Structure 1
Amino acid sequence: MSEPSPPYTDEQLKSDEVSKKDILQFVQEHASTKFLRERKLHGKLASIAKCTKKDDLIAAYKSLFATKAFKTAGEEDEETAAVAAVTEKVAKTTVKDKKAARSHKEAEPPRYTKKILKKGNGSTFPQKGDTVGCFYKGMLTDGTVFDTNIGGAGSKKKKGSGEPLKFKVGQGKVIRGWDEALLTMSMGEKAELVIEPEWAYGKKGLPDAKIPANATLQFEVDLVSVE
C-alpha cells in the first residue's frame, strides 16, 4: 500500500476551507489503528470531530506524515475481514431471532380443550386449505345456545337448516379455536370443544350474537365431510 501525499497545505488546514471532519476523515482512512487509538481518534467520525479541537486534529494530521504511521495493506485486509465478520454475525443473529420467534409462535400452548364424543374413521384428517363440512352447536358457559345449524332453541340463521357449514379450514374463515381443533379431528368425529377467549372472539366479543367480551365458548362439532 503506497503512502498518501498530504492533501492539504498549512494554510488550508488553518482556514475554513478545510473542516475538522475533513481532517479527521483523512486521518482515519490512512492512519494505523494503533495511531488512532493512541490519539483517541478511533471511532465514529461525527462524534470524535464534535469533541476534538481543530488544532489537535491538525497536530495529528502532521504527526501522521512525520511518523509515517500509515495503515498497512495487511491491516486494511484485517479491518475488512472484521467488518465482514460482524455483518455476518448480525445476519445470522437476525435469522436466528426470526426462527426463535416463529418457533415460539408454533409452540404456543393451545387455547382450547377437546373431548371426543364420537370417534371418527381415524384416517381422513383435514389439511389446511381443505373444505370441511360441520354440524355444530355453540354455547356460552351457562348453557345459552348462541348459534347452531342443527335446530333447537337459541339457533339463529342456520336453525334447522339441515345443511352442514362448509369452509376452508386453517385459512382464518372461522375462529382460531375451530381452525386448530378441526385439524385434529378425523371424518365422522364428533367432539366437544371448550375454547378460551384468545382463540374465540377475544376482548371485543360478538355483540350481534350476544357473545360478551372475554367469553369462553363451548361447541359440539360434528365433522361430516372433508374435500
Structure 2
Amino acid sequence: MAAEPTRQWSKEQLQSDDVTKKEIIVFLQENASEQFLSEFNLMGNVKSVAKSAKKEKMIKAYNHLFETKRFKGTECAENVTQQLKDLKVEDAQDKVKKKKPEVTVSEEPPKYSKTTLHKGDKINFPKKGDTVHCWYTGMLEDGTVFDSNIASGSKKKKVTKPLSFKVGVGKVIRGWDEALLTMSKGEKAQLQIESEWGYGKKGQPEAKIPPNAKLIFEVELVDIE
C-alpha cells in the first residue's frame, strides 16, 4: 500500500497567489487515484488541464483528496462507487443552493398596485439608498387632491421642484418605497396604495387624509442619483 502523502499547503496558501493551479494539478496527478483524477477532469497534460480548470475547483479537489484518502493504490471498487455517489449528491446540492433565490425578509403580498402611464427607459432603476427625484399628485379615492408638487391653476406662480429622498429606507410611506424600486427613470405611473402601506389607522389629519384611507398617487420618476 502506498504511503499517504502529507499536505503541502494550508488553506491560506491555497487561496493566495503563492500556489498556482499547475502546482495543485501536479500534486494531484502524482498522488491521487486514477478514478479520482477522472472525476475531477484532471487526467492529461498539466497545461491543458490548467487552461480549462478554475483554481477553486482545484482547491476543492485537493481538500477532497485528503478528506476521502483516495490516494494511489488505496481504493477498492466498492469505496469508489460509494464516493462517486456521494460526490454527485454533493454537487447536486451545491447547484440547488446556487439556483435557489434569496428569501426576502417578508413574503407579505404587496399592498399596492401600479399602472404605468408613461414608460421609462427600462434601464435605470433605483436601488435601496439611492436618491430619487419625483413629481407627484396624491388623491383620495373620491378624487380629492391632498398633496402635489406640480404647479397648476392658482399655483402657477409658485416655484416647485421634484421631491427628493432616499428610496427604500423608510423616508416615505412603504407603498412609495416599494413601488419606486420597480420604476425606471422617466416612468410615470399611477399607484393605488392600501392604507397598511400608506398612513394606516391614524391617517394624517394635517393633510386631510382620513384613517384607513386608500391612496392614489400619480408619480413620475424624473431622476436617480
Could you state the TM-score of these two structures normalised by the residue count of structure 1?
Answer: 0.51
CA distance in structure 2 between the aligned counterparts of 1:136 and 1:198, rounded to whole angstroms: 20
Structure 1, unmatched stretches of 5+, are 1-101
Other-structure match for 1:182? 180
Report the 3-state secondary structure (helix = DSSP H, G, I; strand = E; otherwise coil) of the residue aligned with 2:132. strand
1:118–1:190: 8 Å Cα contact kept in structure 2?
A: yes
C-alpha deviation, 1:105, in angstroms: 4.7
CA distance in 2, matches of 1:174, 1:210: 17
SS in 2 for 1:181: helix
- For 1:185, the aligned partner's letter is M
5+ residue gaps in structure 2?
Answer: 1-101
SS where residue 128 of structure 2 aligns?
coil
What is the root-mean-square deviation of aligned Cα atoms in Å? 2.3
Question: Which residue is equivalent to 2:112?
Answer: 112
Equivalent in the alignment of 2:131: 131
Residue 204 of structure 1: aligned partner: 202
Q: Which amino acid aligns with 2:109?
A: P
Kept after mapping to 2: 8 A contact 1:141/1:218:
yes
**Where in structure 2 are the equivalents of 1:60-79 lying within 5 Å?**
none
Larger radius of gyration: 1
Superposed CA deviations along residues 125-174 of structure 1, whole A, max 9, x for unmatched, are 0000000000000000000000000023698xxx9533100000001000
Identity %: 63
* Secondary structure in structure 2 of the residue aligned to 1:106: coil
Deviation of the 1:107 alpha carbon: 1.2
Task: Please say if residues 135 and 165 of structure 1, whose CA atoms lie closer than 8 Å, have aligned partners that are also in contact.
Answer: yes
Alignment equivalent of 2:159, drawn from 158, 161, 168: 161
SS in 2 for 1:222: strand
**Contact preservation (8 Å) 1:134, 1:222:** yes
Aligned residue for 1:198, secondary structure, equals helix
What is the 5 A alignment of 1:46-61?
none
Structure 2: distance between partners of 1:139 and 1:124: 27
Cα distance per residue 1:83-131 (max 9 Å; x no partner) = xxxxxxxxxxxxxxxxxxx958521100000000000000000000000
Q: For residues 107 and 166 of structure 1, what CA distance do their matches in structure 2 show?
A: 28
